Amino acid sequence: MPPPRQFYRRGPDTRRGQPVTFADVRRRFDFRSIRIGRWVTEAERDRASGLFYDALVDLMHILQGPEALISLRGSLSLKYGIGGQPGVAAHYQPGMRCFSLAKNAGPGSIAHEWFHALDHYLGNKAFSDTPTSMFASKAWLSDATPVVHPLNDRLFACFRAILLDAAGDNPSTLFRTAVDTDRRLRQRYFSQPEEVCARAFEAFVQDAGIRNNFLVAGTRASEEAKRGLYPQGDERARINAAFQDYFSRLGTALSRGQ
């Protein structure tokens, strides 16, 4: 058997080298459920639980929020090594409010899939006339009716920074690149607003002071990054600033129980 893949991390030492289990992950973050595939060995499970725990703690610190933010107030489920799809490292299932990572191919995808979960969770909370299946990013682009709230204003500022140019009059470079890529590939994937926003969120997480390539990877040097499918330059800085403002205020509100 090849040696297990190694992951780079520079973040807070919250467990001081002590082992953790997936039960500890669920207990700390209050996930609705965590399921592990039958083909995941005991050693793989034990190693993955520590990697997941550290990645989610790192995400919590980057977002400046409490544990309830990570589990979306206990509404989110996780699967590891179960329910995979051929050729797909990780995916979010809106109908089950669950994100799944493949046993050997999912690492680095946590930030992307978590943002899908958040985007979906906010769909019918930030807007008053959307179906439960709709992502908030798509609802915003579709001119759904917003729920008036200061936090929603800052969420919409994130979508505006990602999907529109600095003036707010035309599609952003990131969005136009995604549309052009889909046109060449004769598909509609990269240009879906929820996908554009999830990739922008990945870049925000990777640019944070904490480093964890089990949580996120590939927003700078991957082939997708080289094709411009992640934000770059001034556009990236503008998006990061919008996310920073939103999550700092969201974290404060959640910590106060609002």
- Based on the domain organization, do 91 and 129 belong to the same domain? no
Higher pLDDT, 198 or 3: 198
What pLDDT is recorded for position 11?
84
- Based on the domain organization, do 189 and 250 belong to the same domain? yes
Query: What whole-number distance in Å separates Cα of residue 124 and Cα of residue 131?
Result: 7
- Based on the domain organization, do 180 and 240 belong to the same domain? yes
pLDDT digits (tens, 9 = 90+) for 158-192: 999 999 999 999 999 999 999 999 999 999 999 99
| 113 within domain boundaries | no
| 49 within domain boundaries | yes
| 8 within domain boundaries | no
Per-chain mean pLDDT for the chain: 92
- Domains in the chain, number: 2
Tell me which of 75, 107, 139 is where a domain ends. 107
Query: What whole-number distance in Å separates Cα of residue 239 and Cα of residue 232?
Result: 10
Tell me which of 107, 140, 165 is where a domain ends. 107
Percent of the chain at pLDDT above 90? 78
- Based on the domain organization, do 135 and 247 belong to the same domain? yes
For the entire predicted model, the pTM comes to: 0.94
- Based on the domain organization, do 46 and 153 belong to the same domain? no
| 209 within domain boundaries | yes
43-47, 112-116, 222-226: least confident range:
43-47
- Helix/strand number for the chain, H first, E second: 11, 6
Tell me which of 76, 107, 138 is where a domain ends. 107
Please give the distance of CA 176 from its chain centroid, rounded to a whole number: 21
Which residues does 51 contact at the CB level (< 8 Å), separation at least 6?
7, 107, 214
- Based on the domain organization, do 142 and 42 belong to the same domain? no
What pLDDT is recorded for position 2?
45
What pLDDT is recorded for position 152?
98
What pLDDT is recorded for position 1?
46
Higher pLDDT, 226 or 88: 226
Please give the distance of CA 22 from its chain centroid, rounded to a whole number: 20
| 9 within domain boundaries | no
- Based on the domain organization, do 131 and 31 belong to the same domain? no
What pLDDT is recorded for position 60?
96
- Based on the domain organization, do 217 and 165 belong to the same domain? yes
- Based on the domain organization, do 154 and 94 belong to the same domain? no
Q: Per-residue pLDDT for 88 more than 80? A: no
- Based on the domain organization, do 125 and 234 belong to the same domain? yes
| 181 within domain boundaries | yes
Query: What whole-number distance in Å separates Cα of residue 240 and Cα of residue 231?
Result: 10
What pLDDT is recorded for position 42?
93
Q: Which domain holds residue 212?
A: 120-255
- Based on the domain organization, do 82 and 148 belong to the same domain? no
What pLDDT is recorded for position 98?
94
- Based on the domain organization, do 98 and 190 belong to the same domain? no
pLDDT digits (tens, 9 = 90+) for 37-67: 988 999 989 989 999 999 999 999 999 999 9
Q: Tell me the backbone φ, ψ of residue 33, rounded to 5 degrees.
A: -165, 155
